[in-house]
Structure 1
Amino acid sequence: MSETTLPMRVWTGSVVRTEELTPGMRRIVFGGEGLRGYASTGVGDEYLRLIFPERRKSAPRLPTVTNGCLDYDSIDLATMRTYTVRGFEPATGEVTIDFVIHDGGVAAEWAKGAEPGDLVGLNTPNGMYDAPGGLEWQFLVADCAAIPAAARLIEGAPGGLRTRAILEVPGPAHHLDLTAGPGAEVTWIYGGNGHGPSRLEQVVRSLKRPVGGVGYIWVAGETRELRGVRKYLRRELGLPSTAYKTVGYWTDGAERWRNRYEALDDATKTELMAIWESDADLGDIEIRYDEQLARLGL
């Protein structure tokens, strides 16, 4: 179940069809000749960058690939956002992305009006879910932004793997039909997602882990909400970073956050980046980084 890495490439996908899943989520399927050669890592929470055109109905300006990495010098970073791959169909080469719809934001505004023939850029996907070998049980906890990844992990879970998923949405109208196997249990809770206080940390703290057996805890949602989750898993439970994954999928007030970060002096930014160069356990590194951001008011 470990991460699979593919050579970096960039494609242009054309909207094939759209579907309204809930009042807050729209599915868009991409295909066309521009996606020829696209491949999936097979990791349930794989993600990619979508590059949107500067003007609707035009082609996006794509980054180049230099030494196996995306080179962003040729594009406006404001046109790019990161999204989960909800599905990939090898027979047709179609890539499915589920968009959380909200007011404002380059991606959400584009997705609201997307129709067949519209173009976006896509790069090679990568995944973060990396459960240990011999996995016997897992918890998946997510808010709306991370539900596409959680849904794919639920649907792809082997039959003998005990899977409990707790998914936070604004209300009952935001439920999705998920194909869960016999070993999976899905619970919907309400709150968070910019509509009220999130319950993700409360949920994680309430989880009753099985006694014995190899387990994995995957939690994804609003970036700052996960700070308390990380501290609980690493500091209070003492879990190694190989036993869990916490992923910030979005930041409440992202533009304000970015502006405040950019206003930091170069020395402070260098200190922040240096935290990641430590050889400590990844869980400790993440908490040190969170704590420093909090001290800076970020």
Structure 2
Amino acid sequence: MTIHRAVVARVQPLTPAMTRVTFHGEGLAAFTSTGVGDEYVRLFFPHGPDRQDVSLPRSTEQGGWETPEGRPVAPMRTYTVRTVRPQAREIDVDFVLHDHGVASGWVASARPGDVIGLNDPTGLYRPPADLARQVLIADQTGLPAVARLLEGTPDGVRTRVVLEVPDPSAVQPLTRPADCTVTWTYGGNGRGPSRLADLVEAAVPPGTDLTHGYVWVAGQTNALRTVRRYLRKDLALPAERFKVVGYWIPGSDTWSERYEALPGAVRTELEALWDRPAEESEDLTIRYEARLSDLGL
């Protein structure tokens, strides 16, 4: 894994709730896009008021990263890559604006010349080779990925999109492939209870034929626990027929502290859940998420 240095080139408001930041620089010369529409990067932000002083971590042989000795740890958040322009050495990242958090606070004052770090991208959208139909459902945080997935959808794939955004002002124009329907709904997104589970069940009711289909859902992590269980257990979908991606957690700034405050025996129990090599990863995730819900996490 490589950690790249990038500089803000442009800042463009998209809606009252979302801003696009274009990153540019020689540090992106080695940036290699996966080409997958929901690919994401980890962004490393300045640790103090100097917006050009970023404590860039170093890659490790194990594929992770470490902070150089004597340097402060850079705050890190994960974001979808909206657009890649390799010849211009630019990428776009769309940020949801809210009244708290490291990334939102940073982007509210972002201007050309600000420095940031980012790593190589990873993509999660992996439809089967026989794809003929797909359902894409997300809240506002998943909107950039949905937009890019639609731009990459080949003709002949029937696509249903359902997006939950806070209100009509958050709606954005989307480039739609042939045979695509888009439905916008309003609510959730931290301003009210998420309806993602209901939206998925309405779009993919019991009895839906997904022989040649794929379901991709992204948004509030807690709400998606019900979605994952519905797709895997109630509909009995094979793991290769769906992808559920948690993008954010209410109270995420304190989630790690609350996890670390659990009794040591409980944390050991949670970690031990993954020591089941014969069990399907989606089933392990469901078991793990159910235990987190029991613990209020």
TM-score higher than 0.5 here?
yes
Counterpart of 1:36 (choices 9, 17, 29) is: 29
Partner of 2:280: 281
Q: Once structures 1 and 2 are overlaid, which stretch shifts more, 176-185 or 80-89? A: 176-185
Contact 2:165 2:188 in 1 (8 A): yes
AA matched with 2:87 = A
TM-score of the two chains, using structure 2 as the length reference:
0.94
Structure 2 segments unaligned to the other structure (5+ residues)? none
Contact 1:63 1:70 in 2 (8 A): no
Say yes or no: does 1:103 pair with 2:99.
Answer: yes
AA matched with 1:61 = S
Q: Tell me which stretches of 4 or more aligned residues in structure 1 moved more than 4 Å.
A: 75-78
Give the Cα–Cα distance (whole angstroms) in 2 for the partners of residues 129 and 274 of structure 1. 28
Say yes or no: does 1:163 pair with 2:159.
Answer: yes
Counterpart of 1:177 (choices 173, 180, 184) is: 173
Counterpart of 1:135 (choices 121, 131, 150) is: 131
Query: How many percent of aligned residue pairs carry the same amino acid?
Result: 48
Give the Cα–Cα distance (whole angstroms) in 1 for the partners of residues 12 and 219 of structure 2. 23
Say yes or no: does 1:247 pair with 2:240.
Answer: no
Secondary structure of the structure 2 residue equivalent to 1:297: coil
- Residues 16-165 of structure 1: pairs in structure 2 closer than 5 A: 16-55=9-48, 56-74=50-68, 79-165=75-161
Contact 1:26 1:100 in 2 (8 A): yes
Give the Cα–Cα distance (whole angstroms) in 2 for the partners of residues 169 and 232 of structure 1. 22
1:170 positional shift: 0.6
Counterpart of 2:197 (choices 197, 201, 213) is: 201
AA matched with 1:252 = P
AA matched with 2:154 = P
Structure 1 segments unaligned to the other structure (5+ residues)? 1-7
- CA 1:161/1:77 → structure 2, altered by over 3 Å: closer, same or farther? farther
- CA 1:36/1:285 → structure 2, altered by over 3 Å: closer, same or farther? same
1:190 positional shift: 0.5
**Alignment deviations for residues 189-229 of structure 1 (CA, whole Å, 9 cap, x no partner):** 10100111211100111124753641110111111001111
Contact 2:136 2:146 in 1 (8 A): yes
When the two chains are superposed, the root-mean-square deviation of aligned CA atoms in Å is: 1.5
